[in-house]
Structure 1
Amino acid sequence: MKESAWRRLEAVVLPALDLEESERRAFLHGRCTGDPTLLRQAESFLAILEGSGGAFLEGSSWSPLLPPAGAETPDPGQLEAGRHIGPYRIEKLLGSGGMGSVYLAERADDTFAKRVALKVVRPGRRSPEAEERFRLERRLLARLEHPNIARLHDAGQTEEGLSYFVMEYVEGRPIDRFAEDEGLGLEARLRLILKVCAAVQVAHRNLVLHRDLKPANILVDGAGEPKLLDFGIGKLLPGEALGEAASLTATAQRPLTPLYASPEQVGGGAVTTATDVYGLGLLLYEVLT
């Protein structure tokens, strides 16, 4: 499904969530007149929500399905271009999420010159939970070494005590957009997906779940290689003593992307490797259609 289709679905689903369940069906039929595909998609998504018994809406941490085109969330703590964080010089803001912001930066000492992605806790969202989740994401990335997973390079704290880490900067396009822009055939699209599957398999072998597989988190670089990004809501599977970090993934606050969430994520159930397999299935569908 292309971005324009997601936006049409968002425009129907979000207002419906503000209505009583008994009013939603009539609302959907009115908004989707003449578009049976959109009606079917909206009804399917609402059925998942209603089947969760309210757990999804009450216990999840989520934002609209897609941000408004061209919109940027004001951030009073945004780092200025030219500022130095350790040996890295900030160039520009790439994007902000719930707890962190990602900047394009360049290593600016005498060691070497390299552009990187620097992720730092947003000052306005600083909390023990945010810092702990940040450290967990860093630990997840440190376990993973694969050509189709963005690499962790460095980590530290700013002068204000905010945690940050430095990753491989991937200049590319979301995997579905890349396939469409390049006019890839079926075999080429399947090869891309197989590389993503191999990356996810490596993560699972290292007891790491991604939990947010979607086109926006898989960029294809200039060499045509997909890169798996953003383990910000990832989870370590049972098998190690993880302390408080593990408990963060089991609380009532379950960050997720609604239209890419698996049934167990929506319903508040236990997540397993099947959660990522579900995400890969959705990804396959989007890239092939």
Structure 2
Amino acid sequence: MKKEYIPLSGFIIALVLTAVAPILTGNSNLQVTLLFPLILIFAYWTKMNAAELGLVFGKRKEYLIAIAYPLISALIVITLATISGHIGPINLSFTALIAFLGLFFTTLILTVTTEEGFFRGWLFGVMEKYEFSSKSIILLTALAFTIWHIPLFFIGTGMEGAYNMIPLYLSTVFTGGAIMGTIRYRSGSIITSSLSHTIWNSVNYTLFGFGTSVGILGIMPINIFDPERGYLGLVINALFLIIFWYYTFHFPKKSNS
């Protein structure tokens, strides 16, 4: 097999297995968890080391950028929802705090070993190894990440049947995936992008909700005032992507050493 086809082949295998397994078993968690053994198998197949997989620590500045992106995005949506009177009733409680902390630490482990580990780890790394251009790697891994999310609407994850959400949701996933890819490229680390991904999921799913649910802030309508499912979130993500893209490719990339 030509090396240029290996990233596509790996992605297709992962897409099929992670889409079919939940349907056959009735366990939607397999869509995510199956990525872990696939990362190990593909990394062995393509003879990739830890650094090539992004299993290194990035610079402090890159962590600050990774943390700031999801927090600023959420803050903008909350501010505009509050000003326009679309917030509440707010359901803050000790139980919600415990649930948030559990979600945060669980997601941090899972993102490194599954979604980030596969898309910004193996897939990103193998494309770098086979000398794809940096811009094409970011965009193609974001596209793969987006396509991988389509089965969420069919396999019992809380989004099944909400087909009207697909175009907007996938558009935001693509821009978010490209941002995570840019973070990975800048830092050379999936630990950095995983931290950003973890904050995005845990903060947004707690405050705003997931699927068709509403979060603890009671912000509605979700197709407008939501970082991941709303038009406002898509605009914010697009602006972040433009800023990140310009900053990354108009200034020299520095070594992480």
Q: TM-score, normalised by structure 1?
A: 0.28
**Which structure would you say has the larger Rg?**
1
Higher strand share: 1
Q: TM-score, normalised by structure 2?
A: 0.30
